[in-house]
Structure formats: structure tokens, C-alpha cells
Chains A and B, each alone.
Chain A
């Protein structure tokens, strides 16, 4: 294979852990070592053979800790916001000047225990080695005044590394938080970012999150995101993660109490050998919940888009309303779109439907635009924008919407 250094001495170096936690970590490391990186024989990785991708792109890899410094970062100027700064996944600093700081608790996340055994080797690796990340908790009855931007900065010196981090957000009753995860990649080399994130929404709370890259990079990202939604809570996740060499976002949403609502939307523009997979599992475990997923991909020059979406409805989850749609626009040869929209349903009084389509730009529309004086390139760009526009409509804040639109415009223009 290649030079991949990982051993349990790393776990020994972790300070302040209980023996229980240590043995949990060691067990997970053993499991990872037994299976290695997931390959296409794993049902969940059928369309994204991670082992193959790693073999092709990395001659060496290690999980040694990196300590880095930065002087200052340029904050976004398009709108006012709070922020958390992560440096290579570690919590560096935060600023909540726009908010009532008494309501907010932010810490470095360092515990790694009480997690169910996972079949996903990357999650096991994370359970074994993750030491840093952030833990954010919002008190009851508090709605944020401004959005929270999480600057996820990866420094120049990150090369051939696997970074493992855990993040947690807990939003207590009746509170509301909007987050933008903004990734800035200064590394010109390849590295793997392996994250485990969990989000807990208590009764009547709301959470909106947006994920976007500032620039193209050779990052290989994997994130397992576990969400738990309680009574009457609302979750919205907007994914605009174009720009990464590889990204797999594995989202699990448990709708455990009635009237919870979960929306996962994505608009991706992939090119130049990029490979992105979005995988969702929505578990309807209680009645009267609603879920909606819409994934749109525009693919060009050797890129590959994958969507695996499963909707599971338990027998008591009557009156479930679940909808899923994935659409892909393939612009040229050598692109690939794979999807597996799955439904597993045990309750009969439900509304569940899904759709998946993929194809080329509609020639009629292209022709129409060209007869109105636009050249082929501009017409194509217009159609692509139109294709992705309904996802952007979910952003309510006009400044943020403008910001995202300009980012997407940049991505499309690079094509």
C-alpha cells in the first residue's frame, strides 16, 4: 500500500482520559486496522471507493498531531457575524460580541466515548484518534441576533495528514441558531479531513446551517453528521461544498418526536476529477414529521457525483411526509452520476415519494437562449444558474444569499 503510520501510542499521548475512554479508543483503532479504508465492497461505499482514492492520491499518510500558528484571518465583510475559528480542526478562538455571552457555552471538544459502534471504518478511526474540535451549547429560549460563521482554516503545512476531529452543537428548548461553515484552504497539498459531528435539537428549537468552500483545494473530506430532532424542532442544511477534491458528507437525521422537520438541500458544481458524495439517512421514528431532500449536481470534466438517500419510516410513524429529489446535469463526456434513492417503509398512512433524474442540458432551452443573442457559453451558464437557483431560494437573509450567489457564480465561471 503506502506508508501509513498509525499506532496506539498516539492514544497513549492523549492527556486526561479515563481508562474507559482509552479502551473505547483502542477498540475502535483495532476495528479500523482490521478493515482498513472502506472500499467499494462496502455497501455504503459502493460508489465512492475510498481505499482506491487514497491509494491513487497518497504515497504516504500519517495521523501525527500538527501544531500551527496563524497571524490573523480576514473576516468576511459582506455581513456582520459572530465567529468561531478552527485551525486544522482545533478550536482556536471565538467571538460572540453580537450576542448575550451568558447564553452561550463554547469549549474545546475532547471526549470520545458513549458512541455506538459503527460499521464505517472512518468513523471508527475518528473515535480512536479525535482529540479536538468544538462543543457549543446554546441556553434555553435564546435566538441569535447574527449568524455564526465557523472559519475552518487549514494551514499551509498540512500535507499527507489525516486530521480527526469531533464537533458538537446542542441547542436547547426554544432557541435558534444559524451557522455558516466556511472552509479556507491554504494548504497546496493533499490531506484528509475526517470529522464526526453531532447536533442535538431540543424541543421547539431551530437550526440552519450552510456549508461552503472559499476556494478550490486538494482536500479529501469525510464528515459523519448525526442529528437528533426533538418535538417540533426544525433543521435545515444547505450544502454548497464544491471545490474539494473529494467530499463525502454522510448525514443521519433521527426524527424522534412528533412534528419535527428536516430539510437537506445541496447545489454542487463539480469539475476536474472532483468526486463528491452526499449520503442521507432520515429515520422517521415518530408520527407527523416532515423531511425534504433536494440534491442538485452539475458535473463536468471527469467529475463524479453521488447521492445515496434513504428514508426509513417506522411502523408508528404515521402521517409521515417524506420527499426526496436528486437531479444531475452532466455537461460533457467522462462525467458520472450515481444515485441510490432508497425507501424502507413500515407505516401505511404516509406520503413518501422520491425522484431522481440525470441528463444533459436541454437542447431546446439552449437553442432558445442562443436565438436571443447569448453565446453558447453564456447560455449554458445561465441554464446552470437556473438549475441550481431553487436551492438558493432557501436562504432567507439577503446579504448571505448575495454572498452565496457570488460564490456560486465564481464556481460556475471557472468552468
Chain B
């Protein structure tokens, strides 16, 4: 076996920090901090009350511990819950009002806001450390009646919509991190697509955690009204840090009759160095409710960052004929741990769900797929197809599949398959003999393994995802 080569040069591409003065809430989690957050965001009374309700409940709820990756106890009092760059305290009226230092940061991230319009046509709502700085394309979207803005803005400008749907898919009472998020969420995206409208472009959000010890608690709410369509991209980067950083987001999707929401994520959090120090803790709650008939929600994700990943994007298939899909690639290397999967709850008739999960473990990493397919008694004629495949590289890593299947309806069909394999040495040899070096060969084979999922990603992300797959597996074949 070849010796592992330490490649210091291929460092985490996005590892840099911006030195901007930040307005920070005092450390700690208490009622004062929550009022501080609500005040600085100029929220109406009902929003503050909602937060406090969640905070009060938090006192009676315990952190869950059934998941496989164990993490060191988080001291919630030792974190800052709000940090915003000063120049963004009062909303900028146009890009020109934005601190040029911030704009430079965005350039480094590869999203030149000013040139966005000409190149890709992707509207970007850049969340920089708890406050949204700039929102482009508002005008084009406003033409169609589409609302795409930071959630803090939506609370003020569209309170009825927010009140109606916030917390309706992930209630405050759901579990510890959902409750925590409900109390201290700082920002996120709000999307509303009106009846019959097909959103003409991919909507996306780039955000990063900057200030040290700030957990990111972002809250996203996407509502697709009858007959509408939207494709939303979530991409994340984070700087290198020594202390672990917490990311506990809540994402709620609501699809009404005949509507479709496509939600794609390419997660590129800092995974911790080769010895497992540092890195992001990614505990996210994502849930989609297919409320209406014939509605459809699909989750596509490529997870390669995070020291610990813990997320189960789910679909509640309420409306008859609704469809839920989950496509995922989870890659863990070095000392990363992932416990991820999905829940498909079939309530309505003729509902369909499809789960394709590809897990790749290398180094000393641990990768667990945890899924639930629950076919309710009344879910006549429903179908589920699940395929989870694991690829192991080396024998110090582990792959674990834990699928729960509950079928209470005799007219429904549930199919589940799982396989485990390794990268065949013979396959590598074959690629080598055709002139590909070890890295290229591994990249090719792994991309082939993940193909079904990669095909689901919107074009912009597919290329970044493929490269990410390659970088994440460096040093894994020795």
C-alpha cells in the first residue's frame, strides 16, 4: 500500500477570517439575550412572545442522546448568540451601501454579487453571521409576486404568512435543538411562491459562521402555494477554527396542492483537522410537509464537512398522491462522524417516496444511515423504494445502516435494499493501467458510486459537488 502523503497545500480552500467589528450579544443563554436579539431585529411583540415560549420550554427538555456519534458536552452559556457586522446594523438600501470589506469577503467566497446578474442569474441572499447583508434580484422576483427575503424582514413585512406557517412543520415542542433554535434563531431565508408561479431561477443562500463561539441558528421557511415550483440551493462554508462551532438550523418547507419544492444542499463545513480537532457540529432539523394533493418535495444533499453531522431531512406526505424524495451522499474521512438519514411518513393515499443514500467512509470515520419509512394505516396504495449503499475505504472506518420500516397498510408496497462494498483493488489497478493516478482513480470510482445522487443536483452545484467528493477523500487510499 502506498504511504499516505500529507498534503498541506490542499488546505481547506475557504479557511480565512474577516476582521470586522462585530456587535455581539453578551455571552450566554438567558431571557435577556433573547430580548436583546428580538430588539435589535426590531421584531413585533408576537415574535418575542413566541421566542420566550420556546425558551421556557427549553428548561424542561433534555438534549437527546440516542444518536451514535457522541459529542463533548456543549456549554450553552459559553456561546455568543448574536453577532452582526456593524455596518449592517441598519439595512443597506443597495449594494453600494454595503461595507466594501464585506463585499470583498463575498468575492473571496466566489460569489461576486455585483456580477451575479450578468453571469449566472442566481439570486443570492448572503447571510453573514446572523444578519442578511444584501439581497439581489428582489425586483425580478417581485414582478412575479415571489417573496425571497431574510426571515427577519418577512416577520416585519409579511407577518400573516409567517404566523401561519412558522412552527407548523417543526413545532416548538419537537425536540431539544428545534426548541433551542426557536428561541434564538437569528436569521435565514423566507420564500413564498404565489399560486401558479414557477420561480424562474434557482434561489440560493450562502452563509458562514465568522465570529468565534457563535453558534449559527438559522431558520428557513419556504412556502409553495398551489401549483407553484421553486428550486432552492443551500451551500455553506466556514473558516478554520480551533473551537468547535455549533450549527443548529431549522428548515421548514410547505407545499400546497400541485406544488413542488426542490431543496439542494452542498455542505462544505470545516471537518476538523486530520486529528479530529476543530470542525463544525452540524445538528440540523429539516422537514417538509406535502400538505396539498399531488405535491412534491425533494431533498438532495452532499455532506462532506462537519466534525459531527446529525440531520434527517424528512417528508410528511399528507396530501393524496404526494411524493417525497431524498437523495444523499455522506462522506466521512479522518475522524468525522455522521449520523444522517431521512424520515418518510406516509399519511395520504397513493403517496410515494424514494430514498437513495450513498455513504462513503474512510480513515477512522464512522458513517450511519438512519431512516424511517412509516406507512400509516390510511395510506392506501403507497409505495416506498429505498436504496442505501455504503462504500468503505480501509478497515478503520465503519458503516452502519439502521432503517426502521413500519408498514400498517396492506395495499402499500415497501422495498428496501442495502449493500456494502469497498473500492476494489482490481478496479483501481485497471484505472491505473489506463494512466490515472491513485487519486484520480478513486475519484472516478467514487463519483460512479454516487452518480444517481449527483444527477439530482442543479447544474451549478453538480460541478462543485464532484470536486468536493474528490477533495474530501484525500489521503483515504493508502
In the complex, A touching B, CB below 8 Å?
yes
The residues of A with any CB-CB pair to B shorter than 8 Å are 46-47, 299, 315, 318, 328, 330-360
Q: A342-B401, A345-B398, A350-B422 are in contact. Are A331 and B410 (CB under 8 A)?
A: yes
**In the complex, A328 Cα to B409 Cα: how many Å?**
12
Contacts of B400 in A (CB 8 A): 342-345
In the complex, what's the smallest C-beta–C-beta distance from B217 to chain A, in angstroms?
Answer: 30
Q: A315-B396, A348-B394 are in contact. Are A357 and B403 (CB under 8 A)?
A: no
19 contacts between A and B (CB under 8 A): A46-B404, A315-B395, A333-B410, A338-B407, A339-B405, A340-B402, A340-B405, A342-B401, A344-B399, A345-B392, A347-B395, A348-B422, A350-B420, A355-B416, A355-B418, A357-B413, A358-B413, A359-B412, A360-B413
Q: Are A343 and B401 in contact (CB under 8 A)?
A: yes
Closest CB pairs A-B (n = 5): A330-B410, A359-B413, A348-B422, A348-B392, A353-B419
Contacts of B433 in A (CB 8 A): none
Q: Are B405 and A356 in contact (CB under 8 A)?
A: yes
B408 at the interface (CB under 8 A from A): yes
Q: Are B407 and A328 in contact (CB under 8 A)?
A: yes
Contacts of A335 in B (CB 8 A): 408, 410
Number of interface residues of B (CB under 8 A): 33
From A334, A350, A351, A353, contact of B417 by CB (8 A): A353
In the complex, what's the smallest C-beta–C-beta distance from B476 to chain A, in angstroms?
Answer: 11
**In the complex, A354 Cα to B421 Cα: how many Å?**
12
Q: Are B398 and A342 in contact (CB under 8 A)?
A: no
Contacts of A334 in B (CB 8 A): 377, 410
Q: Are B420 and A345 in contact (CB under 8 A)?
A: yes
Contacts of B422 in A (CB 8 A): 348-350
Q: In chain A, what residue has the closest Cβ to B394?
A: A348
B268 at the interface (CB under 8 A from A): no
B contact patch SS: strand
**In the complex, A229 Cα to B319 Cα: how many Å?**
51
In the complex, what's the smallest C-beta–C-beta distance from A161 to chain B, in angstroms?
Answer: 33
Contacts of B402 in A (CB 8 A): 340, 342
Contacts of B397 in A (CB 8 A): 346, 348
Q: A336-B406, A336-B408, A358-B405 are in contact. Are A346 and B416 (CB under 8 A)?
A: no
Q: Are B407 and A336 in contact (CB under 8 A)?
A: yes
Q: A333-B410, A336-B406, A338-B407 are in contact. Are A318 and B395 (CB under 8 A)?
A: yes
Interface centre among A46, A331, A332, A344 (most CB of B within 10 A): A344
Q: Are A357 and B420 in contact (CB under 8 A)?
A: no
Contacts of B109 in A (CB 8 A): none
Interface centre among B405, B416, B422 (most CB of A within 10 A): B405
**In the complex, A359 Cα to B414 Cα: how many Å?**
6
Q: In chain A, what residue has the closest Cβ to B425?
A: A349
Contacts of A349 in B (CB 8 A): 395, 422
**In the complex, A336 Cα to B421 Cα: how many Å?**
32
Q: Are A354 and B390 in contact (CB under 8 A)?
A: no
Q: Are B390 and A345 in contact (CB under 8 A)?
A: yes
Contacts of B67 in A (CB 8 A): none
Q: In chain A, what residue has the closest Cβ to B391?
A: A348
**In the complex, A365 Cα to B409 Cα: how many Å?**
20
Contacts of B414 in A (CB 8 A): 356-359
**In the complex, A86 Cα to B418 Cα: how many Å?**
42
Q: In chain B, what residue has the closest Cβ to A343?
A: B401
From A299, A330, A344, A356, contact of B416 by CB (8 A): A356
Contacts of B403 in A (CB 8 A): 339-342, 356
Q: A339-B403, A356-B415 are in contact. List 8 more A-B contacts (CB 8 A).
A: A299-B410, A332-B410, A340-B402, A354-B416, A356-B414, A356-B416, A359-B412, A360-B411
Q: Are A338 and B413 in contact (CB under 8 A)?
A: no
In the complex, what's the smallest C-beta–C-beta distance from A404 to chain B, in angstroms?
Answer: 27
**In the complex, A332 Cα to B377 Cα: how many Å?**
11
Contacts of A354 in B (CB 8 A): 401, 416-418
Q: Are B421 and A351 in contact (CB under 8 A)?
A: yes
Contacts of B399 in A (CB 8 A): 343-345
Contacts of A331 in B (CB 8 A): 410
In the complex, what's the smallest C-beta–C-beta distance from A225 to chain B, in angstroms?
Answer: 23
**In the complex, A203 Cα to B402 Cα: how many Å?**
33
Contacts of B203 in A (CB 8 A): none
In the complex, what's the smallest C-beta–C-beta distance from A55 to chain B, in angstroms?
Answer: 21
**In the complex, A341 Cα to B147 Cα: how many Å?**
44
Contacts of A346 in B (CB 8 A): 395-398
Q: In chain A, what residue has the closest Cβ to B417?
A: A355
Contacts of B420 in A (CB 8 A): 343, 345, 350-353
**In the complex, A332 Cα to B412 Cα: how many Å?**
11
**In the complex, A71 Cα to B390 Cα: how many Å?**
59
**In the complex, A141 Cα to B377 Cα: how many Å?**
54
In the complex, what's the smallest C-beta–C-beta distance from B366 to chain A, in angstroms?
Answer: 9
Q: Are A340 and B413 in contact (CB under 8 A)?
A: no
Contacts of A352 in B (CB 8 A): 419-420
Contacts of A347 in B (CB 8 A): 392, 395
Q: In chain B, what residue has the closest Cβ to A307?
A: B405
**In the complex, A256 Cα to B404 Cα: how many Å?**
28
B428 at the interface (CB under 8 A from A): no
B316 at the interface (CB under 8 A from A): no
B468 at the interface (CB under 8 A from A): no
From B394, B411, B415, B419, contact of A357 by CB (8 A): B415
Q: In chain A, what residue has the closest Cβ to B423?
A: A348
